[in-house]
């Protein structure tokens, strides 16, 4: 009886041992323990992938700075030696990236590396960066900035970028172009070679630390309200500001600027001239129409160009050499008194109204314009741009008050244009949609060189070609009123324009002509369709034609074409 009991217990123990053994064996085949992070279905579907493919994919993710994806791939590797080796590479790469690559955080605090793929590839191959040369131009722009052709190796910046680190890891950078996104601070310390800084689209109140950038030569900011730039005391730069509002331009270090360009800028403190350096040499401003309210709810006003501003300008900027003033509205231009300018060092003056789309009706023309500018004796160039008035009188500009004036440009439209009274040689460029008469003061006879740019009227004009020829030293761009068969060129004519559809140069008056002939249809001369139906080049040579090709109407009769001159037919594009 006792033997049966012992045998039964022995059987129980044997059965228990067998069960324990089976249980241990079962556990040895369980998957390795994993952390709580779940592998995506896509990654789970790759469990059966070739291990070499997984290893290759992990390597690629490391080089693409996609470290989280690389970790997921490592979890799929069954070879512990390979997995540990790649883990070591991943750790090394991530440590390198945090120390030597630019990275940012977006509004959801997601980390992202920028422009580092070439750098990390070089580091993984060589183990160092000492001999690696970065592009000195660093571009960090959003796609929304129209930056559709990002340079190779450069990444786009998200619009909601809130933090940016490690710009100092690129100490050889000489040019930085950046979309600031939602940054509150931009640290440029360490960029001691930086010469050009361009910031686009910043959050109201962005602070830029450029205290290490003594070599800065140009700063351009667009859409950066109330931006503050802390400058190196030795920095001297051209400052270009557009489409922004500021409590004061002092926040940009305007007192250190040697040139200042302001376009579509509004201020709370409009005492601009009290902030700039007296040694500034270039100033460009736009006079906008109307106030705006900023994101802070405060009201910002446009820069004025009234008598008070002009007086301050004359008193506080005696060394100013270049001045450009553009008015958004004609009414503000009409109220300005330019003859009160007293700038003894001023060499270039550009004044105009911002052009609008479409033609300007005569009913919208402004009052008559007359310029003296006697307070600017050093003037060499004057530009009067997009002005529309019945009369434009430039005769007060004379050799006594402006003895160094060499170039005058007028664009817009007028009935009567009077040239400067300069008694020395000067260039007079006229770019008009309409002009009925150009007068030349007696003192300027045969002194000016008249150029009509893109003149639309051609032969349908009241301008007297012979009068202009006899009163200007040269006339460029005005078509004569006679066809070539009836026109007799003057011995001193160097260029003649014709705008007829029938052109015959076979007359004896063209034999031996040395000047240039300009015609419709010449390459680069006009964008209009050619209107030439008949052309006989007669005594002209290829040297007399101002272009290497000419376009004519379909069916045009062409005779005596000079050798080497290409003839194109407008509709079919045929070449003879």
Taking the C-alpha atoms of residue 526 and residue 544, their distance in angstroms, rounded to an integer, is 18
Q: What pLDDT score was predicted for residue 151?
A: 57
Confidence grade of residue 35 (pLDDT, cut at 50, 70, 90): very low
**Which pLDDT value is given to residue 145?**
55
| β-pair type (257-267, 299-302) | antiparallel
Confidence tier at 517 by pLDDT (50, 70, 90): very high
Neighbours of 78 (CB within 10 A): 10
Q: Is residue 225 predicted with pLDDT exceeding 90?
A: yes
Neighbours of 575 (CB within 10 A): 9
pLDDT at 185 over 60: yes
> How many other β-carbons are positioned within 10 Å of the β-carbon of residue 557?
11
pLDDT level of residue 7 (50, 70, 90 thresholds): low
Name which of 517, 460, 457 is nearest 489 in CA terms. Answer: 517
In angstroms, the first-to-last Cα distance of the chain is 128
What span, in angstroms and rounded, lies between the C-alpha atoms of 83 and 71?
10
Q: Is residue 554 very low, low, confident or very high in pLDDT (cuts 50, 70, 90)? A: confident
Higher-confidence position of 150 and 179? 179
Min mean pLDDT across 320-324, 335-339, 354-358, 530-534 is at 530-534
What is the spatial order of strands in the sheet that 207-210 belongs to?
185-187, 207-210, 228-231
C-alpha–C-alpha distance, residues 192 and 168, integer Å = 9
Of the listed ranges 3-7, 47-51, 307-311, 373-377, the one predicted with least confidence: 3-7
**Maximum CA extent, the chain:** 151
- Residue spans of the domains in the chain: they are 51-100, 102-291, 304-478, 479-576
* Residues 6 or more apart in contact with residue 279 via CB below 8 angstroms: 258, 319
What is the rounded distance in angstroms from the CA atom of residue 285 to the CA atom of residue 304? 10
Residue 242 is encoded by which pair of tokens? 């557009």
To the nearest 10°, report the CA torsion of 214, 218, 219, 221.
-170
Q: What is the pLDDT at residue 78?
A: 83
- Weakest mean pLDDT among 7-21, 28-42, 285-299, 413-427: 28-42
Q: Which residues pair with 433 in a beta bridge?
A: none
* Alpha carbons within 13 A on the beta-carbon side of 48: 2
Residue 489 CA to its chain's centroid (Å): 45
How far, in Å, CA of 286 to CA of 288, rounded? 6
275, β-bridge pairs: none
Q: Are 134 and 170 in contact (CB under 8 A)?
A: yes
Q: Quote the pLDDT of residue 373.
A: 93
Task: Check if the beta carbon of residue 558 is closer than 8 Å to that of residue 535.
Answer: yes
Q: State the pLDDT at residue 8.
A: 55
CA nearest 355: which of 261, 286, 407?
286
Q: How confident is the model at residue 515 (pLDDT cuts 50, 70, 90)?
A: very high
Q: Residue 384: which of 437, 333, 318, 441 has the closest Cα?
A: 333
d(CA 314, CA 426): 27
Q: 335: which DSSP letter?
A: H
Q: CB-based burial of residue 71 (10 Å sphere; 0-12 exposed, 13-18 middle, 19+ buried)?
A: middle
pLDDT reading at 539 higher than 70: yes
CB 326 within 8 A of CB 286: yes
Task: Determine the average pLDDT of the residues in 415-443.
Answer: 93
Report the DSSP pairing between strands 437-439 and 448-452: unpaired
pTM for the full predicted model? 0.78
- Separation of alpha carbons 349 and 112, rounded Å: 48
Which pLDDT belongs to residue 276? 87
Q: How confident is the model at residue 192 (pLDDT cuts 50, 70, 90)?
A: very high
Assess whether pLDDT exceeds 80 at residue 522. Answer: no
> Among the listed ranges 107-116, 204-213, 452-461, which one has the minimum average pLDDT value?
452-461
Q: Quick one: which H or E segment has residue 18?
A: helix 2-28
Mean pLDDT of 269-282: 83
Q: Cβ(413)–Cβ(434) under 8 Å?
A: yes
Residue 122 in contact with residue 143, Cβ under 8 Å?
no
Of 57-71, 118-132, 284-298, which gets the smallest average pLDDT? Answer: 118-132
| Neighbour tally for 205: CB within 10 Å | 16
Under the phi-then-psi rule, with left for phi > 0, alpha for psi from -120 to 50, and beta for the rest, what region is 5?
alpha
State the pLDDT confidence band at 12, using cuts at 50, 70 and 90: low
Give the strand pairing for 111-114 and 102-105. Answer: antiparallel
Give residue 548's pLDDT.
86
Average pLDDT over residues 378-393: 96
Tokens of 96: 């390198």
Whether residue 222 has pLDDT greater than 90? yes
pLDDT of residue 149 exceeding 60, the answer is: no
- Number of neighbouring beta carbons within 10 Å of residue 122: 15
Is the pLDDT at 341 greater than 50? The verdict is yes
Model confidence at 530, pLDDT cuts 50, 70, 90, reads: low
Q: Is the pLDDT of residue 229 over 90?
A: yes
Q: pLDDT of 481-503, one tens digit each? A: 889 999 999 888 888 888 888 99
Predicted confidence (pLDDT) at residue 36 exceeds the cutoff of 60: no
CA-based R_g, the chain, Å: 38
pLDDT, position 11: 57
In this prediction, residues 26-35 reach a mean pLDDT of 36
pLDDT above 90 covers what percent of the chain? 53
Distance, CA of 393 to CA of 167 (rounded, Å): 55
What per-residue confidence (pLDDT) applies to 160? 92
Contact yes or no for 206/181 (Cβ under 8 A) = no
462-485 residue pLDDT tens: 788 889 989 999 888 888 888 999
State yes or no: pLDDT of 458 exceeds 60. Answer: no
Class of 102-291 per CATH? Answer: alpha beta
Give mean pLDDT, residues 212-217.
97
Q: According to the model, what pLDDT value does residue 216 have?
A: 97
Return the pLDDT at 270.
Answer: 73
Per residue in 343-368, pLDDT tens? 999 999 999 999 988 878 888 898 99
C-alpha to C-alpha distance for 43 and 38, rounded to whole angstroms: 10
Q: How confident is the model at residue 13 (pLDDT cuts 50, 70, 90)?
A: low
Strands 448-452 and 495-498: unpaired
Q: Where residue 405 falls among pLDDT bands split at 50, 70, 90?
A: very high
Q: What is the mean pLDDT of residues 294-314?
A: 90
Residue 33, pLDDT > 60, answer: no
Q: 386's torsion region: left (phi>0), alpha (psi -120 to 50) or beta?
A: left
Is the per-residue pLDDT at 452 higher than 90?
no
Q: What is the mean pLDDT of residues 31-57?
A: 57
Per-chain mean pLDDT for the chain = 85
Q: What is the pLDDT of residue 76?
A: 87
Phi-psi region of 568 (alpha: psi -120 to 50; beta: other; left: phi over 0): beta
Q: How far from 391 is each of 177, 277, 367, 435, 563, CA to CA, in Å?
A: 45, 38, 8, 10, 48
Sequence-distant (6+) residues with CB within 8 A of 299 are 268, 291, 292, 293
Q: What is the mean pLDDT of residues 308-323?
A: 91
């Amino acid at each position: 009886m006792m033997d049966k009991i012992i045998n039964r217990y022995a059987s129980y123990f044997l059965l228990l041992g067998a069960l324990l053994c089976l249980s241990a064996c079962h556990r040895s085949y369980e998957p390795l323990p994993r952390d709580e992070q779940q592998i995506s279905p896509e990654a789970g579907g790759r469990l059966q992938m070739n291990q070499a493919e997984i290893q290759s994919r992990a390597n690629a993710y490391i080089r693409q700075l996609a470290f989280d994806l690389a970790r997921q791939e490592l979890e799929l590797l069954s070879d512990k030696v390979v997995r540990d080796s790649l883990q070591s590479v991943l750790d090394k790469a991530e440590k390198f990236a945090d120390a030597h690559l630019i990275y940012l955080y977006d509004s959801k605090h997601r980390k992202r590396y920028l422009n580092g793929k070439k750098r990390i590839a070089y580091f993984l191959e060589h183990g160092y960066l000492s001999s690696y040369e970065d592009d000195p131009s660093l571009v960090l722009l959003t796609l929304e900035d129209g930056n559709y052709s990002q340079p190779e190796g450069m990444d786009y910046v998200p619009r909601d970028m809130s933090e940016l680190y490690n710009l100092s890891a690129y100490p050889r950078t000489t040019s930085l172009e950046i979309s600031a996104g939602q940054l509150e601070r931009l640290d440029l310390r360490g960029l001691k070679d930086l010469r050009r800084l361009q910031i686009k689209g910043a959050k109201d109140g962005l602070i830029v630390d450029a205290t290490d950038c003594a070599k800065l030569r140009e700063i351009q900011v667009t859409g950066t309200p109330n931006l503050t730039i802390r400058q190196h005391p030795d920095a001297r730069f051209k400052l270009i500001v557009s489409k922004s509002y500021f409590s004061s331009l002092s926040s940009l270090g305007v007192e250190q600027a040697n040139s200042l360009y302001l376009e579509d800028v509004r201020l709370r403190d409009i005492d601009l001239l009290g902030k700039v350096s007296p040694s500034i040499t270039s100033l460009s401003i736009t006079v906008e129409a109307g106030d705006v309210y900023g994101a802070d709810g405060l009201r910002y006003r446009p820069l004025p160009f009234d008598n008070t501003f002009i007086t301050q300008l004359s008193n506080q900027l005696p060394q100013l050499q270049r001045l450009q003033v553009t008015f958004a509205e004609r009414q503000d231009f009409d109220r300005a008194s330019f003859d009160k300018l007293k700038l003894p060092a001023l060499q270039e003056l550009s004044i105009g109204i911002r052009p609008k789309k479409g033609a300007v009706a005569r009913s919208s023309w402004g009052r008559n314009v007359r310029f003296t500018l006697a307070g600017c004796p050093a003037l060499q160039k004057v530009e009067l741009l997009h002005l529309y008035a019945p009369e434009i009188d430039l005769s007060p500009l004379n050799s006594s008050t402006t003895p160094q004036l060499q170039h005058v440009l007028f664009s817009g439209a007028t009935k009567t244009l009077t040239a400067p009274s300069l008694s020395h040689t000067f260039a007079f460029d006229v770019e008009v949609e309409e002009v009925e008469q150009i007068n030349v003061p007696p003192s300027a006879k045969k002194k000016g060189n008249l150029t009509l740019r893109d003149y639309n009227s051609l032969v349908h004009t009241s301008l007297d070609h012979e009068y202009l020829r006899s009163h200007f030293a040269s006339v460029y761009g005005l078509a004569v009123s006679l066809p070539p068969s009836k026109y007799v060129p003057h011995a001193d004519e160097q260029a003649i324009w014709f705008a007829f559809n029938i052109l015959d140069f076979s007359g004896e008056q063209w034999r031996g002509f040395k000047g240039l002939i300009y015609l419709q249809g010449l390459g680069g001369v006009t964008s209009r369709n050619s209107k030439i139906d008949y052309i006989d080049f007669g005594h002209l040579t290829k040297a007399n034609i101002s272009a290497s090709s000419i376009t004519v109407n379909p069916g045009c009769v062409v005779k005596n074409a000079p050798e080497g001159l290409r003839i194109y037919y407008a509709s079919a594009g045929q070449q003879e």
